[in-house]
A and B are shown apart, each in its own frame.
Chain A
Amino acid sequence: MLKIKNLKADIENKSILNNFNLEIKPGEVHAIMGPNGSGKSTLSNILSGKKGYDVSGEILFENKNIFELETEERAHKGIFLAFQYPLEIPGVNTNIFLKTSLNAIRKARGEKELDAIEFLKLVKLKAKELKFDEEKLNRQLNVGFSGGEKKKNEILQMSILNPKLSILDETDSGLDIDALKIVADGVNSLRKKDNSFLIITHYQRLLDYIKPDYVHVLMSGKIIKSGGPELALELEKKGYENFN
């Protein structure tokens, strides 16, 4: 599904990612762990097409080089980024935003757009699954939401848009245990044989709830070690500093 080859990314002449390689197959869950400043967020930004980076190398999504695609085209193809810091968008109603987003993606995929009633039915169902307060959906997007609610809102968007590749950028940070469980349940319910996940995190904690198939350790812009879930436990024990 996703093949990253020799990815190099600089920002203002500072090297962030270097010789980065990763392959994710359909249905797999990969976790990338790394200390602050190792390039985790840069990776998720680049996968989603954020401007401002000098990049070289290759990122193939379903065998197509995504460097040629705009951010929204990547979303249409099924790439979803759950933001580390979801933005507050004043004046934009959450439900309206969700419907606009879903229909933009459905339209691009050549599917029928949902009308208001079909959409509300879907969103109600998904909100209930995630124990997301429905009343919040009538408020301005993320405005006045707590940190946990913002993260849940990301997972709600993910479950409504049903992407092929979901990138979770430190979704666990700032969540209490109850919220963490709900978020993890949401992710787990989306695990299917053709949906893949890339989970970016500092801590092993989230991986207790979402079992990854592979764990990668990212340091100074490249993957220094890959392994199974046991690698996360080892990392937790040793700490990043003593890991080399």
Chain B
Amino acid sequence: MEEQLKIDFEKLLETSNFSKKNVEIKRKNFENFIEKGFPNRREENWKFSDLNQIISKNIKNLSFYNDLSKPNKIDQSIFIDGLEHNKLVFVNGRIEKIEFDYEEKNKIEILDDLVLEKSNNANNSLLFLNNAFVNKYFKLIVKKNYSLKKPLVIYNITNKDLISKSINLKVNISLEENSSLKLIEFFNDRSITNFININYNFDIQKNSILKNYKIDNNSNSNIKYSFSNINQDSNSVSEIFLLSSGSEFIKNEINCNLNGKYASAFVNGVFILDETKHHEIKTNINHLAENTKSYQLIKGVLEDTSKAVYQGKIFVDSKAQKTDGYQLSKAILLNDNTEFNAKPELEIYADDVKCSHGSASGSLNEDSIFYLMSRGLNYQEAKKLLINGFLLDVVEKITDSEIKNLIKNIMSLKQ
């Protein structure tokens, strides 16, 4: 693979117009990636999901160069219906549309010719890979005191022309003081066995609110890694909801730094997996200031031989007195061959804190099924009602009612 990587990297530099500074940064990142390679189970963070093995098992002849010179057609039928929204559309890793029709133009800014920032996650080889190979990367700035009128949907579309490629995307979003953004990340994959590596950086300043909904619902054979780094200033709120269901493999990693007093973070997610799918949610919530709060609720329903992993870490700095941290994960295993791994971690250096965690997994309650069947529902209907009820609990945490309904529709939870 190393030979291929070198050839593809040189080809990328030849065919693109990167600034001298960026080429320099890219070379450094490339070398770092070559040295470390894809993460494997020997790293604590990857012990339940050996990415190196997953990639070599699922992707034949992975190539890292992706020709972005020609535009791709956008299949408009993929767009979310019944929800007015702004759009950022990527097709096969190439930006094809930027549309903010609903917003005041001077209240948002989009930059795309940026110098790569030095990554402070020095151990994450996938960020090295991302920095080395990402083409254009985008920065969206929401100006002080502005709330986007409509949600922004980032479409991540791949079509059947894309086979066995490594795609790297990077988006930075900055919410200036007193601003807010609802961001839906929507995957639609018709491509085959690619590795998609996405990096978001959020900077949420004082009193600002980010609501981020990530929807991976269409069954596909791609392997994905999504890393979100979130920095929050005082009184800011981040709300994340993950629908983790479609891809063969996806690891959503969230690193959230609660840097300012009274900042709060909510991470809720559901796994709905079948066949051989293997998904992971990994969180690091770092309480770094007083009176910060975090809440995490993750639920999974696993069928066939699927596997889900939740590694949730709450870190409380000695300065972060009066921290309130909570995490709970639950899974229903519909089959003996499914697997749910939960690894809660609390690392606490302050003495006046409230932190709790819990995890439970088990099969569907047969007595509950009998109860529902005795009221005229057949086995499948009873099972569906119980599963929907189990998952609905998480979806109800979504605070935006329009998007909550959208997600209920996508999950067929509409009652």
Q: Kindly state the separation between the CA atoms of A157 and B377 in the bound complex, as whole angstroms.
A: 14
Which of B365, B377, B379 has the most C-beta atoms of chain A within 10 angstroms of its own C-beta?
A: B377
The 6 residue pairs across chains A and B that have the minimum distance between CB atoms: A91-B389, A101-B375, A71-B373, A104-B376, A75-B376, A92-B389
Question: Which residues on the B side are within 8 Å of A74 (C-beta)?
Answer: 374
User: Do residues B376 and A89 form an inter-chain contact, with CB atoms below 8 A?
Assistant: no
Q: What is the minimal beta-carbon distance from B268 to any residue of chain A, in angstroms? A: 14
Other A-B pairs, 20, CB within 8 Å; known A51-B370, A90-B390 = A49-B373, A71-B373, A71-B374, A72-B374, A72-B376, A75-B373, A75-B376, A76-B376, A87-B367, A89-B371, A89-B372, A96-B415, A97-B372, A100-B377, A100-B381, A101-B372, A102-B376, A104-B375, A105-B376, A161-B375
- Residue B378 interfacial (CB < 8 Å): yes
User: Do residues A104 and B381 form an inter-chain contact, with CB atoms below 8 A?
Assistant: yes
User: Do residues A92 and B393 form an inter-chain contact, with CB atoms below 8 A?
Assistant: no
- Residue A140 interfacial (CB < 8 Å): yes
| A81 with B389, Cβ < 8 A, contacts A89-B368, A93-B415, A104-B381 known | no
User: Do residues A108 and B390 form an inter-chain contact, with CB atoms below 8 A?
Assistant: no
- Residue A86 interfacial (CB < 8 Å): yes
Q: Assign chain B's interface to a size class.
A: 20 to 34
Residue of B nearest to A81 (CB): B374
Give chain A interface residues in 66-83, CB to chain B under 8 Å. 70-72, 74-76, 80-81, 83
- Residue A192 interfacial (CB < 8 Å): no
Q: What is the minimal beta-carbon distance from A152 to any residue of chain B, in angstroms? A: 16
User: Do residues B376 and A101 form an inter-chain contact, with CB atoms below 8 A?
Assistant: yes
B373's partner among A70, A83, A89, A92 (CB-CB below 8 A) is: A70
Which of A80, A87, A96 has the most C-beta atoms of chain B within 10 angstroms of its own C-beta?
A: A87
Q: What is the minimal beta-carbon distance from B63 to any residue of chain A, in angstroms? A: 45
User: Do residues A92 and B386 form an inter-chain contact, with CB atoms below 8 A?
Assistant: yes
Secondary structure type dominating chain B contacts = helix
Question: Which residues on the A side are within 8 Å of B23 (C-beta)?
Answer: none
Residue of A nearest to B388 (CB): A91
B376's partner among A86, A90, A108 (CB-CB below 8 A) is: A108
Q: Kindly state the separation between the CA atoms of A80 and B390 in the bound complex, as whole angstroms.
A: 26
- Residue B392 interfacial (CB < 8 Å): yes
Question: Which residues on the A side are within 8 Å of B366 (C-beta)?
Answer: 51
A75's partner among B367, B368, B374, B389 (CB-CB below 8 A) is: B374
Q: What is the minimal beta-carbon distance from B332 to any residue of chain A, in angstroms? A: 12
User: Do residues A91 and B373 form an inter-chain contact, with CB atoms below 8 A?
Assistant: no
User: Do residues B389 and A50 form an inter-chain contact, with CB atoms below 8 A?
Assistant: no
Q: Kindly state the separation between the CA atoms of A157 and B386 in the bound complex, as whole angstroms.
A: 18
Footprint of B on A, CB under 8 Å?
A: 48-51, 70-72, 74-76, 80-81, 83, 86-87, 89-93, 96-97, 100-102, 104-105, 108, 140, 157, 161
Which of B371, B373, B389 has the most C-beta atoms of chain A within 10 angstroms of its own C-beta?
A: B371
Q: Kindly state the separation between the CA atoms of A72 and B372 in the bound complex, as whole angstroms.
A: 8
Pairs A–B under 8 Å by Cβ, sample size 10: A89-B385, A90-B390, A91-B393, A92-B389, A100-B377, A101-B377, A104-B377, A105-B376, A157-B375, A161-B375
| A92 with B385, Cβ < 8 A, contacts A87-B367, A87-B368 known | yes
- Residue B285 interfacial (CB < 8 Å): no
User: Do residues B389 and A89 form an inter-chain contact, with CB atoms below 8 A?
Assistant: yes
Q: Kindly state the separation between the CA atoms of A118 and B29 in the bound complex, as whole angstroms.
A: 66
| A71 with B370, Cβ < 8 A, contacts A105-B376, A157-B375, A161-B376 known | yes
- Residue B391 interfacial (CB < 8 Å): yes
Question: Which residues on the A side are within 8 Å of B388 (C-beta)?
Answer: 91-92
Q: What is the minimal beta-carbon distance from A230 to any residue of chain B, in angstroms? A: 33
Q: What is the minimal beta-carbon distance from B411 to any residue of chain A, in angstroms? A: 12
Give chain B interface residues in 350-387, CB to chain A under 8 Å. 365-368, 370-379, 381, 385-386
Question: Which residues on the A side are within 8 Å of B367 (C-beta)?
Answer: 87
A86's partner among B371, B378, B392 (CB-CB below 8 A) is: B371
Question: Which residues on the B side are within 8 Å of A80 (C-beta)?
Answer: 374
Question: Which residues on the A side are within 8 Å of B378 (C-beta)?
Answer: 70, 72, 104
Q: Kindly state the separation between the CA atoms of A90 and B394 in the bound complex, as whole angstroms.
A: 12
Q: Kindly state the separation between the CA atoms of A86 and B370 in the bound complex, as whole angstroms.
A: 11
User: Do residues B373 and A90 form an inter-chain contact, with CB atoms below 8 A?
Assistant: no
B389's partner among A48, A49, A71, A90 (CB-CB below 8 A) is: A90
| A50 with B370, Cβ < 8 A, contacts A91-B389, A104-B381 known | yes
| A140 with B389, Cβ < 8 A, contacts A71-B370, A87-B367, A100-B381 known | yes
Residue of B nearest to A108 (CB): B376
User: Do residues B391 and A91 form an inter-chain contact, with CB atoms below 8 A?
Assistant: yes
Question: Which residues on the B side are within 8 Å of A104 (C-beta)?
Answer: 375-378, 381
Q: What is the minimal beta-carbon distance from A37 to any residue of chain B, in angstroms? A: 19
Q: Kindly state the separation between the CA atoms of A133 and B300 in the bound complex, as whole angstroms.
A: 34
Q: What is the minimal beta-carbon distance from B281 to any residue of chain A, in angstroms? A: 20
User: Do residues B385 and A97 form an inter-chain contact, with CB atoms below 8 A?
Assistant: yes
Q: What is the minimal beta-carbon distance from B404 to any residue of chain A, in angstroms? A: 14
Q: Kindly state the separation between the CA atoms of A224 and B373 in the bound complex, as whole angstroms.
A: 32
Which of A72, A86, A93 has the most C-beta atoms of chain B within 10 angstroms of its own C-beta?
A: A72
Q: Kindly state the separation between the CA atoms of A203 and B226 in the bound complex, as whole angstroms.
A: 63
Q: Kindly state the separation between the CA atoms of A92 and B388 in the bound complex, as whole angstroms.
A: 8
Residue of B nearest to A167 (CB): B374
Question: Which residues on the B side are within 8 Å of A48 (C-beta)?
Answer: 370, 374
Q: Kindly state the separation between the CA atoms of A90 and B389 in the bound complex, as whole angstroms.
A: 6
Q: Kindly state the separation between the CA atoms of A80 and B365 in the bound complex, as whole angstroms.
A: 21
Q: Kindly state the separation between the CA atoms of A159 and B371 in the bound complex, as whole angstroms.
A: 17
Residue of A nearest to B387 (CB): A91
